[in-house]
Amino acid sequence: MKTKLQNKWRLPTVEEFENVLYPNRYKIPNLKKYSPYWSSAVYGNLFAWGFKFHNCETYAYDSKYRTIQVRPVRNVSSDSTNSSNSTIIRNLEVYNQDLDRTNWQKALVAINKLNYE
């Protein structure tokens, strides 16, 4: 039996930004086109990758401690509902709101809270 936590909200991968979210950016509610968003990709202890929707740019953000936008996603599963809180795009369920603009570590904590609501 599958539990709710087996399909957790998380940060998108770089590949998901480039191949799913960016081509469908006009279907994503409340997206801040010119603001960078955190991805799940990291390098080293201090750095993580970000993504900009206005030009499909993936870049090495200079520090996990900078504050940028957070947009959770999770894999579509049999219990995905496409409710008022999310939009289903291809293989991803996308949260319809950005979480508070924050650093990378706090983004993980905020997303984890969604998994227990």
pLDDT tens-digit map of 52-104: 999 999 887 668 999 999 999 999 876 655 567 899 999 899 999 999 899 99
d(CA 15, CA 34): 19
Contact by Cβ (8 Å): 60, 46? no
Each residue's pLDDT tens digit, 10-33: 999 999 999 999 999 999 999 999
Kind of pairing, strands 57-61 and 47-52?
antiparallel
Decide: pTM greater than 0.85.
yes
